[in-house]
Amino acid sequence: MTLDSAATQQRAPSWAPTHTVQVIGTRWALAAGHALAAEAAARVLSAGGNAIDAGVAAGFCLGVVHPDMVSVAGVAPILVHVGKTNQTWQVSGVGPYPRASTRESFVTRHGGQIPVGLPRTVVPAAPDAWCTALARWGTMSFADVIAASVEHAERGFPVSNFSAHQFAANEAKFKQWPTSAHLLPGGRAPQPGTVIVQRELAETLKRMVGAETRAGGSRTDGIKAARDEFYRGETARRIAAYHRQEDGPLAYEDLAEFSVDVEPALRTTFGRWEVAACGFWCQGPVLLQMLNLLDAVDLPALGHNSPAYLHRLIETVKLAFADRHAWYGDPKCVKVPADRLLSKAYAAERRQLIGERAWPDMYPAGEMGALARGRAGAVPVAGGSSNSLDTSYVAVIDADGNGFSATPSDPHVDSPVVPGVGCVVSPRGSQGWLDPEHPGVVAPGKRPRLTPAPAMAFDAGRLFMAFGTPGGDVQQQAMLQVFLNTTVFGMAIQHAIEAPRVASRSFPDSFWPHSHAPGKVEVEQRIASDVRDALAAMGHGVSAWPDWEWRAGAVCAVQVGPDGARWGGADPRRGSLAIAR
């Protein structure tokens, strides 16, 4: 089915198509935030791999071909659904602050800031997350799934329209790091189609392949050897040496002792559907809380994207994000009242706070009985819209009902490429806090609360959809709107993704310095002006986004229809691609 959206594309960016095709397959479907990553996943599926093999292939490839948004040595939270056992797992794709990173060091050495560069480095989790998923649930070797990534790094790849836009908009940020010069051929932001070669990154990936080859033994032994090369081998030594040379915090021991966690996914219900997310080390539970808050609301009666409907969504977002601000943090280091936060009874209590007018700021956080925590203050900053580059995404569902949903991240603007490694090592420490009362306060061995957070949905116990998006704090908001578009309003997945969106900024931003714009709501201009005026009359601080605004997220999704057909949807806001067969 072809969706003719030319009438709404008058202000579309250069990477947004004038016509979008809904892809449908009988065997498998995938969607990714970059066309070459989608092609890498399709190549693996066509060779007989499963959804996990394909998702890992796309994940690594995003770190190569989408360096404006993703690093091979970044973060990568993952959800995996195993069709045979009907189990859903989360892989904690974010690493902790190094031993040398303390709140006090940021206060005394960096003037109370979390500055760009090496100081905000955390242990890179993505390589371990990808390898852990591949070894545990995949079927192919590391060399098999990494082939496209090596090819694109070694031979080069053409820069996409969307990436060229981001390189141009952030050229000065890239230029501040001399070791990142290969990303700016000729010393300037690459134009669409410019070929970027990353030879050092190719050598890093080939070292991992070589370790697998030398290991012999089983498939999983080989994957472990590839993984260990990064964390305990030559690559780890190069990373640690660069940090010693440049007075960075990351040490060899931080890398050598790291491993991701694998746990059952968190879940909640919404009508007949069940939704799975990653844990409180990221913002994944925000989506579950918002669905709980909306579960008893007659949304169809409000009307899709009507003032009443959007008001309800915005206030629901503010309620859930108030709890995120007050209670979310690394569960290994912070007492998180998870059961209460995710309970239907708690949602029913909180829902009563929503009235006919907008709350002027973020709501007060919910009470947690005996558990008390100081409420960190939030300082308003004019604007409050994050301009940070952020993330990408990949979703896959195969013929056997296996599902893969992952949100890799860490752009190359906030920190230098490590020489001899070829990529940025996760600067995700930018999502830490220096307020000692905040659950996300920086501490050695503690993970910052992560924005990337994939999701899955189930219908009558059957995998229905894998979905996610880039977008920082907008992620869960965009995912909520797309999910409701499909489940409540019956839209085909591509229609659901393309529908115009809103996003609240009435809470502290996750990225340092945590800007905050009380009451602000950003609205794509494809939402009618009378609706925007009605929201303003309710007390919302409405700010118009351009049509097809990239900051509104780039949701990708794969759905399974009642007859087993696989539907893929990709967001034109960032030039994503879906493929099905």
3-state helix/strand/coil string of 69-108: CCCCECECCEEEEECCCCEEEEECCCCCCCCCCCHHHHHH
DSSP states of 258-317: ----EEEPEEEEETTEEEEE--TTBTHHHHHHHHHHHTTS-HHHH-TT-HHHHHHHHHHH
Query: Quick check: is 216 in a domain?
Result: yes
Query: Quick check: is 18 in a domain?
Result: no
Please give the chain's pLDDT, 581 residues, in tens: 222 232 233 345 776 765 567 899 999 999 999 999 999 999 999 999 999 999 999 999 999 999 999 999 999 999 999 999 999 999 999 999 999 999 999 999 999 999 999 999 999 999 999 999 999 999 999 999 999 999 999 999 999 999 999 999 999 999 999 999 999 999 999 999 999 999 999 999 999 999 999 998 999 999 999 999 999 999 999 999 999 999 999 999 999 999 999 999 999 999 999 999 999 999 999 999 999 999 999 999 999 999 999 999 999 999 999 999 999 999 999 999 999 999 999 999 999 999 999 999 999 999 887 776 644 444 444 445 556 678 999 999 999 999 999 999 999 999 999 999 999 999 999 999 999 999 999 999 999 999 999 999 999 999 999 999 999 999 999 999 999 999 999 999 999 999 999 999 999 999 999 999 999 999 999 999 999 999 999 999 999 999 999 999 999 999 999 999 999 999 999 999 999 99
The parent domain of residue 570 ranges over 281-387+454-580
Alpha-carbon gap, residue 278 to 224, rounded angstroms: 24
Looking at the structure of the chain, the number of domains it has is: 2
Query: Quick check: is 291 in a domain?
Result: yes
pLDDT attached to residue 371: 74
If asked whether residues 236 and 140 sit together in one domain, one would say yes
pLDDT attached to residue 314: 98
If asked whether residues 363 and 412 sit together in one domain, one would say no
* 128: enclosing H helix or E strand: helix 126-137
Distances in Å between the Cα of 162 and the Cα atoms of 133, 188, 479 are 29, 16, 21
Alpha-carbon gap, residue 268 to 458, rounded angstroms: 10
If asked whether residues 294 and 331 sit together in one domain, one would say yes
Q: Which of 516, 475, 332 is nearest to 392 (CA)?
A: 475
Query: Quick check: is 272 in a domain?
Result: no
The two tokens of residue 391 are: 């993330």
Q: Tokens 């141009």 label which residue?
A: 168
Q: Which of 92, 68, 75, 93 is nearest to 426 (CA)?
A: 75
If asked whether residues 292 and 171 sit together in one domain, one would say no
Query: Quick check: is 446 in a domain?
Result: no
If asked whether residues 527 and 464 sit together in one domain, one would say yes
Q: Cα–chain-centroid distance for residue 458?
A: 20
If asked whether residues 75 and 201 sit together in one domain, one would say yes
If asked whether residues 250 and 287 sit together in one domain, one would say no
CATH of the domain at 367: 3.60.20.40
Q: Is 193 exposed, middle or buried (0-12, 13-18, 19+ CB in 10 A)?
A: exposed
Instruction: Please work out, in degrees rounded to the nearest 5, the angle formed at the alpha carbon of residue 553 by the alpha carbons of 548 and 558.
Output: 105
Residue 8: strand pairing partners:
none
pLDDT attached to residue 21: 73
pLDDT attached to residue 19: 56
pLDDT attached to residue 373: 61
pLDDT attached to residue 382: 47
Query: Quick check: is 270 in a domain?
Result: no
548 half-sphere exposure, CB direction, 13 A CA radius: 21
Query: Quick check: is 442 in a domain?
Result: no
Query: Quick check: is 275 in a domain?
Result: no
If asked whether residues 73 and 133 sit together in one domain, one would say yes
Alpha-carbon gap, residue 528 to 504, rounded angstroms: 18
pLDDT attached to residue 316: 98
Alpha-carbon gap, residue 362 to 378, rounded angstroms: 10
pLDDT attached to residue 12: 59
If asked whether residues 501 and 570 sit together in one domain, one would say yes
Q: Which of 78, 125, 128 is nearest to 456 (CA)?
A: 78
Residue 455: strand pairing partners:
277, 467
If asked whether residues 367 and 314 sit together in one domain, one would say yes
pLDDT attached to residue 20: 67
If asked whether residues 507 and 362 sit together in one domain, one would say yes
Q: Tokens 């010393």 label which residue?
A: 187
If asked whether residues 208 and 288 sit together in one domain, one would say no
Q: Is 125 exposed, middle or buried (0-12, 13-18, 19+ CB in 10 A)?
A: buried
Instruction: Please work out, in degrees rounded to the nearest 5, the angle formed at the alpha carbon of residue 469 by the alpha carbons of 467 and 471.
Output: 160
